[in-house]
Structure 1
Amino acid sequence: MLLILWDPGGMVAEWERRTLDARYRFAAAPTEKTTSIVIVDIDEESIKSLEPTFGRWPWPREVHGMLARYLARKGARVTAFDVIFSERVRRANLGEEELRELRRRITKIPRTGREPVEEFLDRIDPTRGDRILVSATADASPVIHSCIFYVTEAEFRRNPALQAEPAEMNHYRKILKPERILLPEGFAPPRFHNVTLPFEELSDAAWAVGHTNYTPDPDGPCRRAFPLLRLGDEPYGYPSLSVLAAAAALGITPEKIRAEPGRVLLGDRAIPVDRKGGMLIHYQGGRMVGAKRGGAGYLRNFKSFYKYIPFDVVLLQMQEEAASRKGPLPEDVFRDKVVLIGSTAAGLMDLRATPFSAITPGVEIHANVIDSILARRFLRALPDPYPAVLVVGAGLVAALLAFRFSPWWGTAVIVILGALYSVLAWFLFTRDLVFPVAAPEAAWFFSFGAGMVGRVVREMREKHRVRNLFGRYLSSAVLEEVLKYPEALRLEAQRREITVLFSDITGFTSLSEDIPPEEISALLNEYLTRMVDCVLATDGILDKFIGDAVVAEWNAPRHQEDHAVRACRTALMMIEELGRLNREWEAQKKPMLSVRIGINTGDMVVGDMGSDKIVDYTVIGNEVNTGARLEPLNKMFGTVILVSRKTRDAVEERESGRFFFRFLGRIRLVGRHLPLEVFELCGERARIPEEQRKAFATFGEALEEFRRGRIEEAVERFEEVLRIWPDDGPARFYRDYALRLRKTGLPEGWDGVVEQISK
């Protein structure tokens, strides 16, 4: 974003200029004041057609004087010359001093003989055209003439000799003094160090003199006008021809024009300017309105909303009216209009580039500025520092979107929102508000791209970490799904419902005493491999090995609705797999193993835990400890798989009737105050033999008698179970427990709870 704001190569600024040109062309439309401006065009055809009469360009000054007087007679509100008459005319070798001497001498000649001589002298007087133009300028007020500022600040720094001499500069300032405007602090329009003015008598006669400078942007087109320019080091600004013409049309004299920070005031009209004193030109665009004429040099492709009238057509109108004939123009064509005299002729070099055309008459730009002021239609750019805030905001939002959405969704969202912002900027332009497009869009898309690259890199690192972390604990299918949807994986510690499984080899300690360590290690590795395969087959996660014990859990890190079912399936698979392993080992004369399994379900804390340098993904909590204590409880009951009521209820809720659970009573575990309802997972219901089911039913009746404290009846019913199924461990445990109670008697407050003998 800093690079976009800095824009060292100017690419963002260039893009912004192109989008601005597109908005100009999109929103082009005339204002209600467009028809108030008429342009008298010194075009190629006029120069050719008038050459036999007036000679080659430049024409005699009296022609322009006659035009100024004619326009005043026709009711023109303002006449502004976009032509600079910078020097007095010299058309004869006879000097002015000699002419004055001849005029003094002919005063002695009688009047009747003197008039032809005076007329001849008047024709050869080199100042005649200037005098006529000055007189017409003074009489036809308001008439505004042009000047041009040159020698920019950069040119002056390279070559200070280009600056006007102090005496000349003082003379220029004296001529322009009526138009100068005091600049406030912080108002710094461009500074120039020389100027070309109309000759002094014409400047004095003019209503005002305004500059015609237009500074194109680096790519060529003129998009900004400068209402005021500075001359030299004084804190004054000098208004443009366009500003003065608009002021005259509004009845505002030059001395009433004021400058304030960020604006130039013409009465109640405030022209917004940027920190460099420039105003965005509110171009009207449009189509050609004036008469179309041919000719190789004529701008046939140029389009304008303003009425262009060729200079020679105006002269023809003057001639026809002088002869009391109807001319080619309407009688009121100039009435109450702002009339600009300028040129579209290529040879006069007053052609500029604008957002609408690479070749545009300079006078067209003046017309657009005047139109904007009269119609109060000003383009207002977003002031500082809001463009920078907009860029930073767009970049941050795009970066957040990159991390929030997937690449495809993120790209779709970013393109749609970017397009909506562009549409908004175009709409605001039609309301005369200029919002930056290039920099925010660049920040928008580049930040999104950078964020997406960062996200991809981060996800690759995360996948590598997850693969290293879970590759040993998860099945390949689950691991791939976790890698595919990493947003579902939360490695930080969190509380959630988990089903945990603890399994342990029965009598492993005594077994390891009789077998060499190498053989024990090989046996244990093969056993653990088979057990872990069972865990991974149900998409469980291998938490850890504790010696020969296996700890596994479900519903982490991936969400699994049937986590309790998966744990029970795994326990049965482990017992079945161990049976196959024992048969293989029996044939190999290896010792056979037996295991005990405890399963519990409840809220546990799961996630990365450990030190700053070493962490492990594991579960902790009271419910974990409960699961750990269920596993050794099998020894007391002579069972293989024990589960808590929470696990049994969770299984029944998901797949009711699939597994056969036998209630073994309420057990107070070692170190616990509250009793726990314990169930034996006997297997899948469909695989339980009928005789065994009958024994389980009788066991349930016996357990109820035991709970009620009817010990004799309980003993009889437990022995009945053993007659049906002699190897039933829980029946044998309860029978023996009941016999002890028969000898000792029931303790006070008997509630049927059995105390766990040991861990």
Structure 2
Amino acid sequence: MNKSILSLGTSGLVAFFLIFFFQIGFFTGLENFFEDLLFVQQPVHSDIVIIAIDNESIEKIGQWPWKREVFANTLKKLEKYSPKAVGLDVVFPEESRFGTPDDQFLEDALKNLSYPLVLAIKADSFVLKNNQAYTDSFSGQLKKFKGQTNPIKSSEAGAPSSTEQFNGVNIGHVNLISDPDSVVRKFPIFIQSKQEKIPAFSYLITKNSGAKIPKEESLEQISRIVFSAAPGTISRIPFYRIISEEIPLSRLGNKIILIGSTAVDLHDEQPTPLSKGTQMQGVEIQANIINMLISGYQLKPLSSVFVSLWMLLVCLCSTLIFTIFKSSFKPLFFNAILGVFWLGAMLLLIDEGIMPNLIYITGAWFFSTISLFGCRYFTGENEKREIKKAFSRYVSKEVLEEILKDPKHIALGGEERHITILFSDIRGFTSLSEKLSPQELVGILNKYFNIMSKEILTNKGVLDKYIGDAIMAFWGAPVKDGDQTDNAVQAAVSMVKQLKKFNKELKEKKGLELDIGIGIYSGRAIVGNIGSETRFDYTAIGDSVNIASRIEGLTKEHKTKIIISDSVKNNLKNKYTFELLGSVEIRGRKELVKIYKVLI
């Protein structure tokens, strides 16, 4: 299979699985973890102040829950500070345990306040559907303030409250959304009940404070909270100090005031991205949301289609880099592409407030890179095994290592190359075979072939084949060899020298000597795996092969061991001694070929 197609298919498969995992939210926990790292602690808006129902206040005022008369008196006392808006983050789900008169104190205090007030309610449960929050558990709590409340109706949701509406009470929900890891990261801007569409507590406070906030239609209905302040860092005043009127006008004048619990025993705390082991009080979370709305910086998720396309693009870019660039440059470009996509993601986050889904970008880069390298490694190993299988019989270990270093340059299917071909043949083999038994003949031939083959392989030749008592070898393929003629001639000289040693042994044992002739020619030939489906060999074919064979045949006529053509002699770098034998006509070739005897 074409490697480019294989690489593209691999990346496509990676992209498919990542998109699938993204759609089912498989990596949501990991994604949340990485996105939490983007939040850094910053000062909140100076207008936001918390009046804390803390442990010290409970000690001074009394056991919780307090009388509602305490809250009524406090709300009245806040009028002298002319706050921009006040949010009472205390839920009153049932009648006061101190009786109806206590409830009446609070109801009377809510009438004709000089500042906007928002009370908190909480849905016992709600469901998220189509990026909206729905509940049917608000109605009982709303009845408590019937006649004093002005919840936003579905038809007028998001309409700003005017000062004339402050004789009533705004009611907002304080529900938050925790992810599977229990960390609060989102809140619903509105929760739809059967009767009303209840806005978020923090949204109503911000709107009624006069701050410029985004229009409802531009807000994500399930909104990501941009946390700025860590637990315990927002300006706060103990509740009891308001009752004792110890607070100067400058501390609360013209501020957005949130009244809520910070006492540990009241258990109104949850983990947030900035918690770092310390949970954040509910009123602090509301303060962070208000700060986000005032700043106008809202985090918006990327559409699932865009994230899917982004992952596909990362995988595609990885494939292009993998197939185009050389191995030494690939790590550089792979890291560069990740950097480019991260930079783009950061620009989206900073300029547009769009959450960049870094885990999926990084995952696409990581898994496509690993898959591509893994795929290339295993296919490369298979390719190397095939090459090893094909060439281990033909070439030396050193040449085989050269082949395996860069297998892509090996054209097993066939190519034309300039090569140097060597033929050698035993003279008088027929008469020799008549003097020996089959076992003796085979034994001598095997030893002879071992000796001759070793010299060919030692000099980087390809041992093509044995043809009876003849040997065919060549240089210049499959690995290009700039010294192919020198290597071929050196192999021939070594073969003749080794034959002398072998003949000495053979004469002592059998009273025989072998005589050989070697012909060498350089020219163009076709090399490749040639054969049938059941058997094929890496070999060379063409006129150059035929000429080399015929030059070898001339050694007997000229009574010499080695004959080379002028195409070999003219390309030799090492110095040898030659004798010109003349120009001969070779069958199948129009031009005469100059041949030389190599003197040993």
Same topology, TM > 0.5: yes
1:247 matched to 2:207: yes
The answer for the alignment partner of 2:57 in structure 1 is 46
Q: CA deviation at 1:573?
A: 0.9
Matched to 1:644, the amino acid is S
**C-alpha contact 1:146 1:210 (8 A) present in aligned 2:** yes
The answer for the alignment partner of 2:106 in structure 1 is 130
Aligned length: 563
The separation in 2 between residues aligned to 1:455 and 1:510, in whole angstroms, is: 56
1:383 matched to 2:303: yes
Q: 1:127 to 1:425 in 2, by over 3 A?
A: closer
The answer for the alignment partner of 2:589 in structure 1 is 672
Deviates more, 1:495-504 or 1:438-447: 438-447
1:367 matched to 2:287: yes
What secondary structure does 2:122 align onto? strand
Q: 1:187 to 1:15 in 2, by over 3 A?
A: closer
Deviates more, 1:513-522 or 1:79-88: 513-522
The separation in 1 between residues aligned to 2:358 and 2:581, in whole angstroms, is: 74
The separation in 1 between residues aligned to 2:42 and 2:413, in whole angstroms, is: 61
What secondary structure does 2:184 align onto? coil
Q: 1:241 to 1:505 in 2, by over 3 A?
A: same
Q: 1:203 to 1:678 in 2, by over 3 A?
A: farther
Instruction: Choose from 230, 241, 253 the match for 1:313.
Output: 241
Instruction: Choose from 475, 481, 494 the match for 2:396.
Output: 475
Q: CA deviation at 1:360?
A: 0.3
What secondary structure does 1:35 align onto? coil
Q: CA deviation at 1:147?
A: 1.9
What secondary structure does 1:332 align onto? helix
**C-alpha contact 1:498 1:604 (8 A) present in aligned 2:** yes
Q: 1:251 to 1:471 in 2, by over 3 A?
A: closer
Matched to 1:61, the amino acid is R
* Structure of greater Rg: 1
The answer for the alignment partner of 2:38 in structure 1 is 23
Q: CA deviation at 1:533?
A: 0.8
The separation in 2 between residues aligned to 1:86 and 1:199, in whole angstroms, is: 11
Note the 1:70-219 alignment, pairs <5 A.
Answer: 70-89=77-96, 91-92=98-99, 125-136=101-112, 139-153=113-127, 187-195=130-138, 196-197=141-142, 199-204=145-150, 206=168, 208-219=170-181
Instruction: Choose from 225, 237, 245 the match for 1:281.
Output: 225
TM-score of the superposed pair, with normalisation by structure 1: 0.65
**C-alpha contact 2:148 2:169 (8 A) present in aligned 1:** no
The separation in 2 between residues aligned to 1:247 and 1:622, in whole angstroms, is: 93
Q: 1:675 to 1:141 in 2, by over 3 A?
A: farther
Matched to 1:281, the amino acid is I
What secondary structure does 1:135 align onto? coil
Matched to 1:379, the amino acid is L
Q: 1:427 to 1:626 in 2, by over 3 A?
A: farther
Matched to 1:280, the amino acid is R
Note the 1:721-736 alignment, pairs <5 A.
Answer: none
The separation in 1 between residues aligned to 2:549 and 2:310, in whole angstroms, is: 58
Note the 1:637-648 alignment, pairs <5 A.
Answer: 637-648=558-569
Q: 1:226 to 1:630 in 2, by over 3 A?
A: farther
Q: 1:222 to 1:508 in 2, by over 3 A?
A: same
**C-alpha contact 1:68 1:140 (8 A) present in aligned 2:** no
Q: CA deviation at 1:38?
A: 1.9
Matched to 1:79, the amino acid is V
Question: For structure 1, which runs of at least 5 residues remain unmatched after alignment?
Answer: 96-124, 155-185, 258-264, 287-301, 320-326, 684-759
What secondary structure does 2:466 align onto? strand
Matched to 2:92, the amino acid is F
What secondary structure does 1:81 align onto? strand
Q: 1:500 to 1:81 in 2, by over 3 A?
A: farther
**C-alpha contact 1:145 1:206 (8 A) present in aligned 2:** no
The answer for the alignment partner of 1:504 in structure 2 is 425
**C-alpha contact 1:210 1:238 (8 A) present in aligned 2:** yes
Instruction: Choose from 208, 216, 220 the match for 2:182.
Output: 220
What secondary structure does 1:14 align onto? helix
Matched to 1:284, the amino acid is S
Q: 1:140 to 1:495 in 2, by over 3 A?
A: farther
Matched to 2:263, the amino acid is A
Q: 1:622 to 1:12 in 2, by over 3 A?
A: farther
The separation in 2 between residues aligned to 1:356 and 1:214, in whole angstroms, is: 16
The answer for the alignment partner of 1:723 in structure 2 is none
The answer for the alignment partner of 1:296 in structure 2 is none
Q: Deviations over 1:279-310 (max 9, x none)?
A: 22111135xxxxxxxxxxxxxxx342x32222
Q: CA deviation at 1:393?
A: 5.4
TM-score of the superposed pair, with normalisation by structure 2: 0.80
The separation in 1 between residues aligned to 2:470 and 2:48, in whole angstroms, is: 97
Question: For structure 2, which runs of at least 5 residues remain unmatched after alignment?
Answer: 1-13, 151-166
The separation in 2 between residues aligned to 1:237 and 1:665, in whole angstroms, is: 109
The separation in 2 between residues aligned to 1:610 and 1:150, in whole angstroms, is: 80
Matched to 2:561, the amino acid is V
The separation in 2 between residues aligned to 1:473 and 1:596, in whole angstroms, is: 21
Matched to 1:608, the amino acid is N
1:266 matched to 2:266: no
Q: 1:251 to 1:404 in 2, by over 3 A?
A: closer
Matched to 1:241, the amino acid is F
Q: 1:668 to 1:425 in 2, by over 3 A?
A: same
Q: 1:350 to 1:140 in 2, by over 3 A?
A: farther
Q: CA deviation at 1:222?
A: 0.7
The answer for the alignment partner of 1:176 in structure 2 is none
**C-alpha contact 1:76 1:338 (8 A) present in aligned 2:** yes
CA RMSD of aligned residues (A): 3.9
**C-alpha contact 1:141 1:206 (8 A) present in aligned 2:** no
What secondary structure does 1:140 align onto? coil
